[in-house]
Structure 1
Amino acid sequence: MSKVKIVFFIDVLKKDFDGVSNTTNQIAYRLPRDLFDAIFITPLPPEDPEFPFPVYKCPSIDLPLYKQYKLALPKRMKGLEAKLDDFAPDIVHWSTPSALGWYAVNYAKKRKIPVATIYHTHFTSYVEYFLRFVPGIDKISPPIARRLLSLYKDCSLVLAPTESMSDYLKVLRVNAANIRVWGRGVNQHLFSPAFRDDAFFSPYGVISEKKILFVSRLVSYKSTDSLIELYKLLGKGHKLIITGDGPDMERLQSKMPKAVFTGKLTGEALSRVFASADVFVFPSVTETFGNVILEAMASGLPVVAARAGGPADIIEDGITGFLAEPGNTKEMYDRIKALLADDELHARIREKAIYYASQQNWDVLCQRLFDYYKDLATITS
């Protein structure tokens, strides 16, 4: 039996960069080399010299507001089409409806190759967030979102992270027969209560305060203004911990001078910051899933998040965590306060969260994905 050959068009392949890159790396390192062959096209290649498949760097330009990200320019990549033809993929997999995504789908159409994608980014929320002050945005955002999301209609396999995202794609007239709900896993060895270290925050001057943790890239669309409002509500005996970096860091530091900013952490340091906090807060309304929610739960943290996007599907309100109305910082604060004031409630939510996270296994998820790939290749062979 010949191997199934897949070309991945991925906008970010650096490990621990964001949710898209983390998910793609989980797939790449588990892809069975006896059954699959793959190449990756990306403007941001992995730094690991042991990455298991060939990677070809695509020309790009910096995004004006977020220079860590690159806008791929696949049409400027010399010999790309010939390289793809030489590889002769059975499946084209793309990650984002960017120029790279458009190139991937158009190439696949020309060669009559099936297309797979994961619905990583809830673009409607992004459009609504960035254009929220524009008069008549309720009329403007749907056609913009439809344009961004039109590529999904050309896919033979669309992997939605939750049922609500699946329903949303169906409303946009993506063929329901091509949609599968495919969640996200969590590394149980990296995120665990076993990493708790009561002295971890001592170097930051945090000794006895209750620690409220936020982990993410520091960008405005993660609802960082809500963190500022929460910071104002927190009284003595509480400390807001911000882990991550990004273009919004300087503004947040100026608005929250007594908050702790650890910068971006990876590896065991990230494991310890999760497990050593007391509550996790996540006000973002633009998540299709929210990997950090699972990481916090696996680490033993009760989570308080906005009732929006993926987190609203992951968290069972009042059972595995708490949900608050988007933008309602006072409700979020009240939930955090209740958790920190009631040891029994905190322990009950913590136990349920740990159990739920323990069921989200990357090995199982990836095996399911690989079966989807094999079915896709068989249908078209």
Structure 2
Amino acid sequence: MRVAFAAESFLPQVNGVTNSVLRMLEHLQAQGHEALVLAPAAAGRVPKQYAGFPVVTLSSVGLPGYSDVRVNTAPRFMIDRTLADFRPDVVHLAAPFAIGYKAALSAARLNIPSVGIYQTEIATYATQYGFPALEPVFWYRLRQAHQLATLNFAPSTYARDQLMEQGIPRVGIWARGVDSVRFHPDKRDEELRREWAPNGEKIVGYMGRLAAEKRVQDLSAIADIPGIKLVIIGDGPSRAELEQQLPGAIFLGMKGGEELPRCLASFDLFVHTGELETFGQSIQEAEASGLPVIAPRRGGPIDLVKPSHNGWLYEPGRLDQLRGHVLDLVGDDFKRQAFGRTARANVEYRTWPFICGQLVEHYEEAIKMGVRIPRLTNSTR
């Protein structure tokens, strides 16, 4: 099989979109398939290849206030020519918006089936970053891209329903995998814990991007709970402001390699505050590390957190509920540890090879269906 990826995000930027594309490339390479990546040029150096597959960069600019989201500025004929030369069996549209939309148009024009993978609630981000008038515009573009795809997949039931409410057809669910060997409770480091919490405090952690849409400032609702220590993994544009708002927290910055799972497994409890998660990969990695999770009852966490089994969900904006759930779990060692064991058991089978194998089957389904897209109209050109 020959698969062309049109990725809205790629290395050196590391996020959920990039991560899932990298895992798919590794899987395709291991299974003897061929692939090519179309990716936005960025400030950092984009690799010329990954897993032995070529990476073609396209000119792009960052969205105002959110430079990590790249808007493709390359003419579509460049994408037409690249796809025509590569002759893929299927085009993987990774979080299609700019490059993905043009690639969807090219695929339809060239009669190549495509699979749209919804991953980022970019339309709602517009409101978070002070541009509410852009939200319906962004949804219009997302509809255009996904309506062109042969098949579409959302990462959670909430995201699937969201797409269907927007009139997007042919939507299924493709979740995400987790490396349950890399993220494991056995990597808990007691020496590291003593460094963070010399007085034996319970360690309540967060991992993710430090940006407005993640609502990390909501951790202030639990910062004064006696006997806990807040530890935050990640970086982003809001870090300086958050360090002022959470003066007692330990900010570790970005972590990678074996240091990341060691830090994560050394938490006692994981709190995720973002309300715009289509999936929540950091939640899944925390659960693989044996941690109970507290998260908002919106988006991907609804599928990942089962109240009274592996954590708690709170209503978005109800920080009193967030605080109550933290008090419940830090105050009950037996319950917290039982929730952590259940969390691990629920995700350890969701390996990336298993999840990637599912997507290859979806590719095959799209190829069998062929291109069943109506003739392009002015509204989609």
**What is the identity, as a one-letter code, of the residue corresponding to 1:335?**
H
Show the counterpart of 2:220. Answer: 228
Residue identity (%): 30
**Aligned residue for 2:155?**
161
Are the structure 2 counterparts of residues 83 and 165 from structure 1 closer, same or farther at C-alpha, using a change threshold of 3 Å?
closer
Secondary structure in structure 2 of the residue aligned to 1:54: strand
Residue 313 of structure 1 and its aligned partner are, at CA, apart by 1.7
1:81-230 correspondence runs (5 A): 81-131=80-130, 141=135, 144-175=138-169, 178-204=170-196, 206-230=198-222
Distance 2:343 2:178 in 1: 13
Deviation per residue, 1:97-118 (Å, 9 max, x gap): 4321221111112112212111
Which AA in structure 2 matches 1:215? M
CA deviation vs aligned residue, 1:6-39 (integer Å, no higher than 9, x gap): 2111122227711111111111100156653211
* 1:125–1:285 contact (8 Å) kept in structure 2: no
CA separation of 1:300 and 1:15: change in aligned 2, threshold 3 A: farther
Query: Whole-Å Cα distance in 2 between the matches of residues 66 and 173 of structure 1?
Result: 27
In the aligned structure 1, how far is the partner of 2:284 from the partner of 2:13?
15
Q: CA RMSD in A?
A: 2.5
Could you tell me which amino acid in structure 2 is paired with residue 173 of structure 1?
A: G
Q: 2:333 corresponds to which residue?
A: 343
Extract unaligned runs of 5+ from structure 1. Answer: none
Q: Is the 8 A contact 2:7 2:96 kept in 1?
A: no
* Equivalent residue letter for 1:73: T
User: Quick check: 1:363 aligned with 2:329?
Assistant: no
- Aligned partners of 2:279, 2:53: CA distance in 1, in Å? 27
Unaligned stretches of 5+ in structure 2? 372-381
Is residue 2:278 matched to residue 1:279? no
1:42 Cα shift?
0.6
* C-alpha distance in structure 2 between counterparts of 1:180 and 1:257, whole Å: 43
How far, CA to CA, are the matches of 1:59 and 1:15 in structure 2? 15
Q: TM-score, normalised by structure 2?
A: 0.89
CA distance in 2, matches of 1:348, 1:34: 38
* Deviation by residue 1:236-263 (Cα, 9 ceiling, x = unmatched): 3211111100100011011112210000
- Give, in whole Å, the separation in 2 of the partners of 1:239 and 1:363: 36
Asked if structure 2 preserves the Cα contact closer than 8 Å seen for 1:127 and 1:145, the reply is no
CA contact (8 A) 1:274 1:299 kept: yes
Contact preservation (8 Å) 1:226, 1:283: yes
Pick one of 321, 336, 341 that aligns with 1:331.
321
Amino acid at match of 1:29: E
Corresponding position of 2:249: 259
Q: Give 2:11's match in structure 1, choosing from 10, 14, 32.
A: 14
Amino acid at match of 1:190: R
CA drift at 1:127: 4.1
**TM-score after normalising by structure 1:** 0.89
CA displacement 1:156-175 (0-9 Å, x = unmatched): 11111122222222222222
Q: Deviation of residue 50 (structure 1)?
A: 5.4
Q: Is 1:66–1:247's contact at 8 Å kept on the other side of the alignment?
A: no
SS at match of 1:267: coil
Q: Determine whether 1:374 maps to 2:351.
A: no
Question: Is the CA contact 1:280–1:296 (under 8 Å) kept in the aligned structure 2?
Answer: yes
Does residue 72 of structure 2 align to residue 75 of structure 1?
Answer: no
CA distance, structure 1, for counterparts of residue 68 and residue 161 of structure 2: 32
Measured at CA, do residues 113 and 229 of structure 1 come closer, stay the same or move farther in structure 2, by a change above 3 Å? same
Say which SS state the counterpart of residue 300 (structure 2) adopts: helix
Residue 204 of structure 1 deviates from its aligned partner by 4.6
Which has the higher mean CA deviation after the structures are superposed, 269-278 or 112-121? 112-121
Give the structure 1 partner of residue 235 of structure 2: 245
* CA–CA separation in structure 1 for the residues paired with 2:205 and 2:295: 12
Secondary structure at the counterpart of residue 31 of structure 1: helix
Instruction: Tell me, in whole angstroms, the C-alpha distance in 2 between the residues paired with 1:26 and 1:206.
Output: 38
Distance 1:246 1:287 in 2: 17
Q: 1:208 to 1:337 in 2, by over 3 A?
A: same
> Cα distance, 1:81 vs. partner?
3.0
